Amino acid sequence: MRKKHLIITNGAVITNELITRGTVVTIGDRIMYVGNEEEGEKIKEAAIPGVFEIIDAQGGYIAPGFIDVHMHGSAGLELMDGTEEAIRTIARYLAKSGTVAFLPSTVTALKDKTRAVAELVAGYQGAEDEAEVLGIHLEGPYINQQYKGAQYGPAIRRADLKELAELYTILGSKLRLVTLAPEIPGSLEAIAWLKERGVTVSIGHSDASYEEALAGFEAGITHATHTYNGMRGLHHREPGVLGAILATPGIWAELIADLVHVHPGAIKVLLRSVGVERTILITDAVQATGLPDGEYMLGDQKIFVQAGAARLAEGNLAGSTLTMLRAIKNMIDTVGVSIPDAFRMASFNPAQSLGLEDMGWIQEGNRADFAILTEDFTVQKTIIAGRIAYSADE
């Protein structure tokens, strides 16, 4: 794919405020200018021919590229397939969908399978037409059977520092995010151990009481996995995991905004409590994403997709077939958030939750990651670190 300095113009730039007629200039993999079209025209006139590539957004949107910190698969494959082909297929599908970086997520599995997947991600080398693999999200196995959802019950186990140390030896800084239940024996020690190594820890698939959840936050949890789903809910005499998330400042709250997992009214409650500043849109996408209804797999279990909703045979929701753009549109059209706020939750917030300070937002000095969209939010181009990773007209 081509890599040149870029001048992107004739589009609405989505940043802290919507610049309705804006221009963005990149040098290498960095954003060097963000501003209005009038100034952008002067830059275009002064640009040395052949050095800059001019991209016309054609009246659409110049949006920050999306970052998905929780997704399992798409286009017929998933991380737990354990193959390089699976990661490559997912990464290419995501690039076509405007996602510039992601964390492929495990599901609860036996130790050998989890280790093999960790080795795969640790050694993976992406191509230029792929979204960047930031590392791995270990969802389980240290979770509560009571709220396992679509996780594989026989492989659920107590937190194991020896196993975590082995995985960290394999992955190092690519062990980015771990979902666990703080009430499970050994979890508080595991949380502290992970925090010391800079790994983000998330509460999820948890039956913790309000007090147990707060103890997890005190130990180092800063993140909540698919808020509302897979956790003890809110009761006025026992606020549970959900109550602790809503009441505690500083927690990043994931949200599956497919309007199946969470009612729009409950989404509004989350935004009132946590705010758009701390809410993270995720897809929790499974291998059926981008494909017709039918029978698929999630780890070691069959899932059934009907009307786009993925479930186990017994009816439990099993991830989603959501794309990040559909989540953004749902937040704008149904929940009523502003365009900048919807995109913030899909890009800036997930980047911040993982400590990626120079990613996730269109501002000078940041990495040059963009989704160029039509007025109706169809992806025309995806630009990752200054290179055109996907173009609809090629």
Which residues carry out catalysis?
Answer: 284
**Letter for the amino acid at 131?**
A
Residue 351, helix vs strand vs coil: helix
What's the Cα-to-Cα distance from 330 to each of 113, 337, 372, 376, rounded to whole Å? 36, 9, 19, 13
First-to-final CA distance of the chain: 11
HSE value, Cβ hemisphere, 13 Å, CA-based, for 149: 27
Whether residue 190 contacts residue 159, with contact meaning beta carbons closer than 8 Å, is answered with yes
Task: Name the CA dihedral angle for 110, 111, 117, 118, rounded to a multiple of 10 degrees.
Answer: 150
- Distance (Å, whole) CA 143 – CA 205: 6
Whether residue 392 contacts residue 379, with contact meaning beta carbons closer than 8 Å, is answered with yes
Q: Is 100 left (phi over 0), alpha (psi -120 to 50) or beta?
A: alpha
Tokens describing residue 156 = 């659920």
If 0-12 CB within 10 Å is exposed, 13-18 middle and 19+ buried, where does residue 252 land? buried
Q: What Rg, from alpha-carbon coordinates, does the chain have? A: 21
**Interior angle at CA 157, CA 153 and CA 161, nearest 5:** 150
Whether residue 305 contacts residue 298, with contact meaning beta carbons closer than 8 Å, is answered with no
Q: Can you say how many angstroms the Cα of residue 102 is from the centroid of all Cα atoms in its chain?
A: 6
Whether residue 372 contacts residue 60, with contact meaning beta carbons closer than 8 Å, is answered with yes
Instruction: State residue 63 phi and psi, 5-degree precision.
Output: -110, 155
**Letter for the amino acid at 140?**
G
